[in-house]
Structure 1
Amino acid sequence: MKTSIRRSAIFTGAAILLLTACGTSGSAQSSAPGKDDDGQLKLGYVLPETGQLAFLGPPMIQSTNFAIKTINDAGGVLGKPIPKVAGGDEAGQEAVAAQSADRVLNTGVDAIIGAAASGMSLAIIDRVTGESVVQCSGSNTAPTFTDYDDGGFYFRTAPSDALQGPILAKTIQGDGHKRVALVARADDYGKGLLDSTKKALEDGGATVTVAETYDPKATNYDQLVQQVKNSKPDAAVVIAFEEGTQILQGMIEAGLGPQQIGLYGTDGLRSEELPALVAPGKPATLAGMKGTAPASASNPEYVKALKAFAPTLKELQFAPQTFDCVTTIALAAEQAKSDDPGKFVDEMIAVTKDGEKCNSFAACKELIADGKDIDYDGVSGPLDFTDAGEPGQATIEVYTYDAKGQLQTVSTEVSKGQE
């Protein structure tokens, strides 16, 4: 059986005790009842039920539940069903996310799905991995996580923004723009994507007229908009979450809308509701605005099945990646023949590459039962985890809004990183 050795994954017994003791302050580091090899895989999540990214909560939570149902319908993990998932709200607030993580950990989970926002994952990662519990996010894109000292327990099925930035830059320059203003929220997500986009633009010969980060909790962005206008760009990029609505309104009022310059967003703004939020009753206001976001492989069977499971779902962003987090964890436990995260963590990378291909839990489980090494290709596409526990390449969607305010896919591009 193949196994993977991740960075920082091998410790002496003393180092493990030290990491557990120092991983966080205020968390119940040694009181969680789980992580014993009891034969039943237990999962939890910390995802946005409220807050700026609340629109991502339903698709990610429902996809988690759908993945569990799919696994249980195939006989469960290690012959037992995964019980009801223990949930917590990240809420867009670090303190709330940390409290939620503590509560979920105290239920004895073996792995946690989430958080959705990179900043919220950074608020809980030491708590989770310090307990030697696996953490897998379907939406964290900040480059920070690639080299984060997580003891080998953190994974993500969403690609790093180091892969998205070059596609965004290529799109902007392909549209003929040469002077580009960049503004981004001042967190790991915003800074990471700003830096990778800026480098790619400059490497391509474009001039970055301004590269500014802002406080996402600010109540007024007039000065930021004026900075962009004064730099006289022919294109502007807004790397934002919910607060981007206010920034876009200010830019349009300042004559920096998509009818005047190239206007671009990223995954934090990719929402079918954005035009209505920016200009209620005027859907054409954002017509022509473009953006990039991690895409999923075209998978109509998964989409149809998820919508049948959760008929009220409208937004599907990061749902496939979340499904793949759950399935990868389950397959790793099957391959390790253990629900102990300290044991199945060594199979998390291995089950995504260099084995016999399979694209469902049931099919992969059957191969494992036959003693085969597997290569799980997820509903979001091939995973092929690097040693950092993340996809080695990314399919990036280029999206736009039409005159009716409808979200459209322009194209998809593949961006490859380095092993």
Structure 2
Amino acid sequence: MSDSAPSVPVNCRPRACGSARLGGESTVTERRRFLALGISSLVIASLSLTACGTRASSAPGDAGAKKVVKIGVIAPLSGGLSSMGTGIQNSVDLAVKQANASNALAGWTIQIDAQDDQASPDVGKNAATKLAGDKDVVAVVGPLNSSVGQAIQPILDPSKIPLVSPANTNPTLTRGAEASTNPKRTYTSYFRTCTTDAIQGPFAAQYLLNAGIKKVATVHDKKAYGQGLVTEFTKAFTAGGGTIVAAETVNPDDKDFAAVIAKIKPTAPQALYYGGEHPVSSLLTKQMKDAGLKIPLMGGDGMYDPAYITNGGSATAGDLVTSVGAPAESLPSAQQFVSDYKAAGYSSGYSTYGLYAYDAANAIINALKVSLPTASDATSARAATVDALGKVNFQGASGNVSFDEFGDNRTRVLTVYKVENGAWVANTTDEVK
């Protein structure tokens, strides 16, 4: 149902009517009667416009009227990570269109409100504030970056707006500052469909150890995601008998890594483990190999994007990433999503987190099936939606979706991908128990 009111033509303006001739010279009485009719028409038109402008008509017998509920999206829709962010937005859009087409929420129409966070915590705060102030917003999918997640949790939680991230992997977002030693859920409205760095870091460490690599240099970009990933990797790698020969940091907007490479090269690492996203790591791997340090660079899911290979060129050959879930082609449920996504005609791909954004949206929609029937409006359904999300259990595009007591997805599947012949190729997939 469109929110815009239909146009009501008013063909006779007061000035034109005042000069009309009806079979000759108009009398004063005729003029007054005609003007009265014109004014009456304008009043009726005004009332019609007012009625059509309401969000959901409650007139008796209007069985087709539906209330509007919105699912917000917060993701980077511009900048270096826009391919990932747009994939998130499109995948949520697909889930919403399918739900509306099947009348999944009787009496309600779902809309999405996508906000560009530019991968910036400050911009993300503004986006969250805007969505929290919209009475029709019942839940939000996103964000991509853990640092943005940290920034927007305190804004959405007081309004009881559930936030379901397809991509945040920092463990502290669900388990608090002492995630590994004394886990405590800080925000009960926060959930995620992806796995965490507490699993991803050790998974990468074990892969390198199994490959006979015992000496590794680490670099991270000082952001929540990158720092957390390197922390978890380091703990597992050293516990398994490996040695971190150098530990360096860079800034997220750095372009020249000569100084960092000069520090790392004399330590003779067998691999470099990077915590951060592909715009930086693609430059780092190229400059590292141009400087004669021809070792594989390994990172997390923030690197798993075709843009890494495009930007890094031939220098990326042999590089590695871990990414959440199994390859889409290995899951029948994912294949259906891929087919539906292509059929929808989006101009860009679903990217790294499309499956998880689709599942996040469907988790919300499943929760709304419980919370909306007794709600008078979207705002009154928020708290009940949070409660219902904690109980969802369904087969999603990425696998089974259900949340533990912290809001983390119970399914913990990871895959190592390797750059071969200019493409990411699945190397090994496993579920971490």
Distance 1:219 1:409 in 2: 29
The one of 275, 297, 301 equivalent to 2:336 is 301
Query: Does structure 1 retain, via aligned residues, the 8 Å contact 2:141–2:165?
Result: yes
2:154 is matched with which residue?
Answer: 126
Number of matched residues?
348
Aligned residue in 2 for 1:137: 165
Q: CA deviation at 1:219?
A: 4.3
Which structure's CA Rg is the greater one?
A: 2
Answer yes or no: is 1:335 the counterpart of 2:374.
no
Q: Which of 369, 380, 385 does residue 344 from structure 1 map onto? A: 385
CA distance in 2 between counterparts of 1:391 and 1:315 reads 20
Q: Which secondary structure does the structure 2 equivalent of 1:171 belong to?
A: helix
Q: Give the deviation of 1:240 after TM superposition.
A: 2.1
> What is the correspondence of 1:189-268 to structure 2 with a 5 Å cutoff?
189-241=225-277, 242-257=279-294, 261-268=295-302
* CA drift at 1:91: 0.3
Q: Which has the higher helix share?
A: 2
Q: In the alignment, is the contact (CA less than 8 A) between 2:75 and 2:119 conserved in 1?
A: no
CA contact (8 A) 2:91 2:355 kept: yes
* Residue from 297, 304, 320 that aligns with 1:270: 304
Kindly provide the amino acid, as one letter, of the partner of residue 233 in structure 1: P
Give distance in 1, aligned partners of 2:255 and 2:426.
Answer: 32
Partner of 1:44 in structure 2? 72
> In the alignment, what sits opposite 1:289?
319
Separation of aligned partners in 2, 1:208 and 1:66? 44
Alignment of 1:18-417 (within 5 A): 40-82=68-110, 84-108=111-135, 109-148=137-176, 150-241=186-277, 242-257=279-294, 261-279=295-313, 284-296=314-326, 298=331, 299-336=334-371, 337=373, 338=375, 339=378, 340-352=381-393, 376-403=394-421, 405-416=422-433
Provide the alpha-carbon RMSD of the alignment.
Answer: 2.0
Q: Relative contact order (C-alpha < 8 Å, sep 6+): which is higher?
A: 1
Per-residue deviation, residues 92-116 of structure 1 (Å, max 9, x unmatched): 2222221122222233211111111
Q: CA deviation at 1:262?
A: 3.1
Q: Which amino acid aligns with 1:276?
A: T
Aligned position for 1:29: none
Cα distance in 1 for partners of 2:253, 2:306 equals 23
Q: Compute the TM-score of the two structures, normalised by the length of structure 2.
A: 0.76
Using the TM superposition, give the Cα deviation of residue 286 of structure 1 relative to its aligned residue in structure 2, in angstroms. 1.9
Q: CA deviation at 1:160?
A: 1.0
Deviations 1:108-147 (A, max 9, x none): 2111111111111112111111221111111111112122
Q: CA deviation at 1:39?
A: 6.2
Amino acid at match of 2:126: Q
Partner SS for 2:351: coil
Distance 1:386 1:45 in 2: 23
Distance of aligned partners of 1:44 and 1:249 in 2 relative to their CA distance in 1, 3 Å threshold: same
Matches of 2:174 and 2:202, distance apart in 1: 17
Q: Deviations over 1:215-267 (max 9, x none)?
A: 2233432222222212211111122211222212221122223xxx2331221
AA at the equivalent of 1:331: N
Letter in 2 for 1:392: R
Could you list the runs of 5+ residues in structure 2 that have no partner in the other structure?
1-54, 56-65, 177-184
Say if 1:179 and 1:208, in contact at 8 Å, map to a contact too: yes
Distance 1:150 1:42, change over 3 A: farther
Q: Calculate the TM-score normalised by the size of structure 1.
A: 0.78
Identity within the alignment, %: 26
